[in-house]
């Protein structure tokens, strides 16, 4: 019997509510696998500020260091209070702080459109009705967001600002290897996104990705310019399995893909370090507008827990069981408020969690 240590960071807003449902699901998995999850809860975001006047206190980092993975809720307060002492910089301090502390270099964001939820998509009906299931693998710690030098210089008409896009062979190789490894467990296709027609960094990116692709003859490889990819996502998202992207293009395309599903409350994400350590969190924010009302959709948090089982704990069967339960509950017409339309069976956050656990039992 093995023990997996999970740092549980519920955060703010709906974070604690949806986290409670993910814990219920993990408890059920414990029963059927004999694996024990040891939960170590810690404060982050505004909740940590109230106690420590810091968004990411050292005690929380220490808890995370002593664990095998982090299950994160969300942080942040109402948008109109963004400039207050408590909420100012909360996302950057908490999320970038954790990414930096644990060198989380790979961001995995699945975007899945369930055919039963096609109405929520912004896509044309004939496209959305086919559903889609893709995964954006985004490099998270390099590229133009972190490249040096960056800055501003000069005055008047000659004042200028600049950033540097830079990638090393090591950085491109490790994110490409991650994408190809992940594709092996999915539909064996990697589309690598670049701008090799204009940017030298991207010519290099394509060259290194091609080298890695040659080591994975079982995985189909296709390069695509980022402008074309942005368009193809709206015209034919079904063609994609894994989209491999640098930091900036991944930032933009993963949000576009998420928007096409139309439902933030369903989308999980993972940020992975080398080895098996990772942080798992919903793609959405703390949704202060609905906190405490029972309207939050817990599915993104539950699917984040499933990703944790897959990528940090090597528990593929259990991850698939959870995903299957989520699919079944949606197919049976159960909906939280965010995805409800007339004729559906409306349920609260807690009821949705209970239904998913119930199906896991079957
Ligand atoms: P948001 O994602 O919190 O909410 C956007 C809309 O989606 C809201 O109408 C909300 O009710 C809805 N929504 C989001 N998740 C939902 C869920 N699970 N179930 C049902 N509905 C859901 O974005 P926002 O309103 O722009 O930001 C609110 C706060 O969240 C801000 O403080 C922002 O900084 C923070 N934020 C945090 C993260 C994070 O922790 N990773 C990410 C994005 C935003």
Q: Does residue 117 or residue 101 have the better pLDDT?
A: 101
pLDDT at 115: 78
Q: Does residue 65 or residue 121 have the better pLDDT?
A: 65
**Token pair of 24 as six digits:** 């219920």
Interval between CA 291 and ligand 1 midpoint (Å): 10
- Residue 31 φ then ψ, to 5°: -60, -40
- Identify the DSSP state of 362: -
Distance CA 352, CA 184 (A): 32
CATH number of the domain located at residue range(s) 122-260 in this protein? 3.40.718.10
Q: Kindly give the number of the ligand 1 atom that is closest to the alpha carbon of 284.
A: 2
pLDDT at 148: 96
Chain-centroid distance, C-alpha 217: 28
Active site residue: 27, 50, 153, 227, which one?
227
**H or E element at residue 220:** strand 220-225
Q: Would strands 3-11 and 36-41 be described as parallel, antiparallel, or unpaired?
A: parallel
Interval between CA 118 and ligand 1 midpoint (Å): 21
360 pLDDT band, cuts 50/70/90, is: very high
126 included as an active-site residue = no
pLDDT at 228: 98
Nearest CA to ligand 1 atom 32: 76
Q: Is the distance from the beta carbon of residue 76 to the nearest atom of ligand 1 less than 6 Å?
A: yes
Q: Is the distance from the beta carbon of residue 300 to the nearest atom of ligand 1 less than 6 Å?
A: yes
Q: What is the per-residue DSSP string for 39-104?
A: EEE---THHHHHHHSSSS-HHHHHHHHTSSEEEEEE----GGGTTSTTTTTHHIIIIIHHHHHTT-
How is the chain split into domains, by residue range?
1-110+268-362, 122-260
Q: Kindly give the number of the ligand 1 atom that is closest to the alpha carbon of 295.
A: 20
pLDDT at 270: 98
For 7-42, what is each residue's pLDDT tens digit? 999 999 999 999 999 999 999 999 989 899 999 999
**Whether the Cβ atoms of residue 338 and residue 263 lie closer than 8 Å to each other:** yes
**H or E element at residue 177:** helix 169-184
344 included as an active-site residue = no
- Identify the DSSP state of 19: H
163 included as an active-site residue = no
- Residue 47 φ then ψ, to 5°: -65, -35
52 included as an active-site residue = no
CATH number of the domain located at residue range(s) 1-110+268-362 in this protein? 3.40.718.10
195 included as an active-site residue = yes
Q: Name the 3-class secondary structure at 340.
A: coil
**Whether the Cβ atoms of residue 154 and residue 203 lie closer than 8 Å to each other:** no
With a cut of 80, say whether residue 241 has pLDDT above it.
yes
For 200-238, what is each residue's pLDDT tens digit? 999 999 999 999 999 999 999 999 999 999 999 999 999
Interval between CA 306 and ligand 1 midpoint (Å): 21
Q: Is the distance from the beta carbon of residue 265 to the nearest atom of ligand 1 less than 6 Å?
A: yes
Percentage of residues in the chain with pLDDT exceeding 90? 90
Same fold, 1-110+268-362 and 122-260: yes
**Token pair of 341 as six digits:** 């339309």
Nearest CA to ligand 1 atom 4: 287
Q: Is the distance from the beta carbon of residue 287 to the nearest atom of ligand 1 less than 6 Å?
A: yes
Q: Which residues contact 293 (CB under 8 A, 6 or more apart)?
A: none
Nearest CA to ligand 1 atom 12: 287
Q: Is the distance from the beta carbon of residue 267 to the nearest atom of ligand 1 less than 6 Å?
A: no
């Amino acid at each position: 019997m093995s023990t997996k240590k999970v740092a549980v960071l519920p955060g703010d807003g709906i974070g604690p509510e949806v986290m409670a449902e993910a814990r219920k699901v993990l408890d059920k998995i414990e029963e059927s696998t004999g694996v024990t999850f040891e939960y170590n809860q810690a404060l982050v975001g505004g909740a940590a500020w109230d106690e420590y006047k810091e968004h990411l206190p050292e005690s929380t980092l220490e808890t995370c260091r002593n664990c095998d993975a982090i299950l994160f809720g969300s942080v942040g307060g109402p948008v109109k209070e963004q400039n207050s002492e408590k909420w100012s910089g909360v996302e950057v301090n908490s999320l970038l702080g954790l990414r930096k502390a644990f060198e989380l270099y790979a961001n995995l964001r699945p975007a899945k459109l369930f055919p039963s939820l096609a109405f929520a998509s912004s896509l044309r009906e004939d496209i959305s009705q086919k559903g889609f299931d893709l995964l954006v693998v985004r490099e998270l710690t390099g590229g133009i967001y972190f490249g040096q030098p960056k800055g501003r210089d000069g005055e008047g008409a000659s004042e200028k600002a600049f950033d540097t896009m830079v990638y090393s062979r090591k950085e491109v190789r490790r994110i490409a290897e991650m994408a190809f490894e992940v594709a092996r467990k999915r539909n064996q296709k990697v589309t690598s996104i670049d701008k090799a027609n204009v940017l030298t960094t991207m010519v290099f990116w394509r060259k290194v990705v091609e080298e890695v692709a040659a080591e994975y003859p079982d995985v189909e490889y296709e390069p695509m310019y980022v402008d074309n990819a942005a368009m193809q996502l709206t015209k034919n998202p079904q063609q994609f399995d894994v989209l491999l992207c640098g930091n900036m293009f991944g930032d933009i395309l993963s949000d576009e893909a998420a928007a096409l599903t139309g439902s933030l409350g369903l989308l999980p994400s993972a940020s992975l370090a080398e080895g098996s350590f990772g942080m798992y969190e919903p793609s959405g924010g703390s949704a202060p507008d609905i906190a405490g009302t029972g309207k939050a959709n817990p599915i993104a948090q539950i699917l984040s827990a499933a990703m944790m089982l897959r990528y940090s704990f090597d528990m593929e069967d259990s991850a698939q069981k959870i995903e299957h339960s989520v699919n079944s509950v949606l197919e049976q017409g159960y909906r939280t408020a965010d995805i409800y339309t007339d004729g559906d069976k409306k349920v609260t956050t807690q009821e949705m969690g209970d239904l998913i656990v119930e199906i896991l039992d079957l």
